[in-house]
Structure 1
Amino acid sequence: MNAMDKHPLKAGEPILIRGVEVPVETGSLPQKHLQFFVENPRVYSILRSDGEEPSQADIERKLLDMDHVKALIQDIKRDGGLTDPVVVRAGTLEVLEGNSRLAAYRALAKNDPVKWGYMKVRLLPQDIDEALIFALLGQYHIKGKKDWAPFEQAGFLYRRHKTHDVDTGKLAIEIGLSKRKVEHLIAVYQFMLDHDEADTAKWSYYDEYLKSSKIRKARLANVAFDSLVVGKIKSDEIAKAVDIRDRLPIICSAPKALQKFVNGTEGFEDAFDHAVEAGADNTPLKKITKFRNWLALPETESALNHAQDETRKKILFELGKLSGRVDTLVQKLNPKK
């Protein structure tokens, strides 16, 4: 009798994945026979940082270095075992869901191999469709307990969209996020791939970078803008993600500061100071400028000209009041004139 025969598996409740009932066996298996699942987004983010597929030993070592796994070891030790079984694919014995728990068990087994020799499992068929595996992971970690980091969520969505050819609209329904959010996460992940950014800790920088409409305008107007900003993030010249959110849009709103930033005559801090001096972060100035630009639009004049009767009278009244108020403010702000 081999070790696996001592803990026979039995049929369990099927798992419903995207409307498909997948048969399951439940029981315990020797943790030493289980394999880390390289395509799991948490594991995938580890291999992504090195650029090469890691060995099983590499994955275990790197998982054990993660704070959440260190905490998990103590939780499992205190509880005397697993609360939730790991999900395993038959045949390969890859742990599709529960790789952190497998690493924790391996750590505990080093001190007590008998007590921590077996893990509770839910065994899925060996021939389960890959798309169903990723749908299951999404149900667990994005729609369910949502414990993946944003980079891990984005990597999951990226591969579902690119590798499994799942439309972003279907992904949004499947995961429980808006279509716009799904597309944004995929776009940020793609941006990091395109610019060889392997530091997953920099996710929030690029998340903010692709959110801003003001930054988007600068990117469209300057073909080298992305490379410039990525370089400054990698070199730590742009030290915090909040600088991308709060400071870079101000630089992008000041044409002269932006030009100096783009052509390299001013660094990030100097360009920001230049933009502030030019009033790019001044809220009243921005509101007045926006209103003036709106008034100057041909379509605005056309719409005002087409106003009839009482509406036209009210517009003329408001413009008169506005003109008087503008004259008063000009005199107060520039009393020498």
Structure 2
Amino acid sequence: MKSGQVSDFTEDTITLRKREIKVRTGFLPHHALLFYAENPRIYSIVWKEDGDQPTQEEIFEALAKTAHVRETLVPSIRSNGGLIEPIMVRKNVVLEGNSRLAAYRLLAQKDANAWELIRVRILPDTISDSEVFSLLGEFHIVGKKDWSPFEQAGYLYRRFKTHGIDEKQLQREVGLTTAKIRHLIHVYDFMLNANDRNPERWSYYDELLKGRRFNQARDLYTNFDHKITEMIQSEEIERAVDIRDGLPKIVKIGGNTLKKFMNDKLSFHDAVHEAHHRGAGNYYIKKLKDIKSFLAEDNLDEELARVSGEERSNLSYLIQRIAARVNQIAKKINGNSH
């Protein structure tokens, strides 16, 4: 919409926590709006380690540099001549749509008149911070799910820590299991304590804290997590997959290999190599042994023979495909062994 074409606002409602909330939709000058510093995406990329709230200029500069804003939103908004989906505002603060506001301001730098007014949906001033976070969860975790795991975890962390929303209520809000919610909050809290707010390193810590694979090492070495954290941040551990696949081998083989690793006598990669040489974590053999054990179960033949109808047809198809694939693998392995 061009400058001077401010339309009358139309009234509508949105449903939140089983109640209808009145909203107004129309156009406002974008320069009158503020970025929402507590938005999980902004929080993850702009907030300083000392906890000071970033300035509006810092938020804009950070968002404007992202590929999503420059390479996706700016061309899309320019092509459409405006926003398809209005940004959501409370008391002139953009609760949902901060990246779109940044894209609009980039466009306005080239043509201020053409991009002066931005389409908004205004929430009532009375809507609470708790309701705001619930609304954001509906948009980005339940709905389009465009937040990264780090951003999702940050949202859940602040809902849990700041707003006092327990895990069962969060489960009802976002549709994740309580175990998953607990894990996300735990990993996010771990990263904060490690002074690491890099969203790209989320998967490293996610693997480190997943399940009980490393409890044995933690029992033996109280500094285990601290050591791995230092290796992540120094990039000695280069990929999250190294924690998923390599670190369990070191812990499983234990003994002198784990001791030398923890005492800095072996690098991460050397420790993985030594553990592998000592026979730890042969993934393929373990998987095949699991299959072999299943096929060797008592009465399996009789139980499968009693299957009938469509299930029998599906079973027959799967067995034929598995048999064919096993033959292919056997030929390659036997061929390479000569």
Structure 1 length normalisation: TM-score? Answer: 0.80
Measure the CA separation in 1 of the matches of 2:144 and 2:84.
14
Going from structure 1 to structure 2, the CA distance change for 1:5 and 1:77 (only over 3 Å counts) comes to closer
Q: Return the letter of the residue paired with 1:261.
A: F
Deviates most, 33-42 or 207-216: 207-216
Q: Return the letter of the residue paired with 2:207.
A: E
Measure the CA separation in 2 of the matches of 1:150 and 1:283.
27
CA displacement 1:100-120 (0-9 Å, x = unmatched): 000000000111111110011
Measure the CA separation in 2 of the matches of 1:285 and 1:46.
43
Aligned pairs (5 A) from 1:166-185: 166-185=165-184
- Identify the residue that residue 23 of structure 2 maps to in structure 1: 24
Measure the CA separation in 1 of the matches of 2:122 and 2:11.
9
Aligned pairs (5 A) from 1:228-247: 228-247=227-246
Residue 215 of structure 1, CA deviation: 1.8
Q: Which runs of 5+ in 2 are unaligned?
A: 291-338
Preserved contact between residue 280 and residue 286 of structure 1 (Cα < 8 Å): no
Preserved contact between residue 212 and residue 249 of structure 1 (Cα < 8 Å): no
- Identify the residue that residue 277 of structure 1 maps to in structure 2: 277
- Identify the residue that residue 265 of structure 2 maps to in structure 1: 265
Residue 262 of structure 1, CA deviation: 1.3
Spell out structure 1 runs of 4+ moving beyond 6 A: 284-287
Q: Return the letter of the residue paired with 1:272.
A: V
Measure the CA separation in 1 of the matches of 2:284 and 2:13.
61
Residue 11 of structure 1, CA deviation: 4.5
Q: Does 1:85 align with 2:86?
A: yes
- Identify the residue that residue 318 of structure 2 maps to in structure 1: none
Q: Secondary structure at the match of 2:202?
A: helix
Going from structure 1 to structure 2, the CA distance change for 1:78 and 1:283 (only over 3 Å counts) comes to closer
Measure the CA separation in 2 of the matches of 1:86 and 1:65.
20
Residue 285 of structure 1, CA deviation: 7.8
CA displacement 1:281-334 (0-9 Å, x = unmatched): 2258869x99xxxxxxxxxxxxxxxxxxxxxxxxxxxxxxxxxxxxxxxxxxxx
Q: Return the letter of the residue paired with 1:280.
A: A
- Identify the residue that residue 131 of structure 1 maps to in structure 2: 130
CA displacement 1:221-268 (0-9 Å, x = unmatched): 321001100011111110111101110011110112112111221110
Residue 9 of structure 1, CA deviation: 4.6
Measure the CA separation in 1 of the matches of 2:9 and 2:234.
55
- What RMSD in Å do the two structures reach over aligned CA positions? 2.2
Measure the CA separation in 1 of the matches of 2:201 and 2:48.
12
Residue 197 of structure 1, CA deviation: 1.2
Q: Does 1:118 align with 2:153?
A: no
- Identify the residue that residue 186 of structure 1 maps to in structure 2: 185
Going from structure 1 to structure 2, the CA distance change for 1:9 and 1:187 (only over 3 Å counts) comes to farther
Q: Return the letter of the residue paired with 1:96.
A: L
Q: Secondary structure at the match of 2:260?
A: helix
Q: Secondary structure at the match of 1:220?
A: helix
- Identify the residue that residue 97 of structure 2 maps to in structure 1: 98
Q: Secondary structure at the match of 1:95?
A: strand
Deviates most, 70-79 or 260-269: 260-269
- Taking only the aligned residue pairs, the percentage that are identical comes to 45
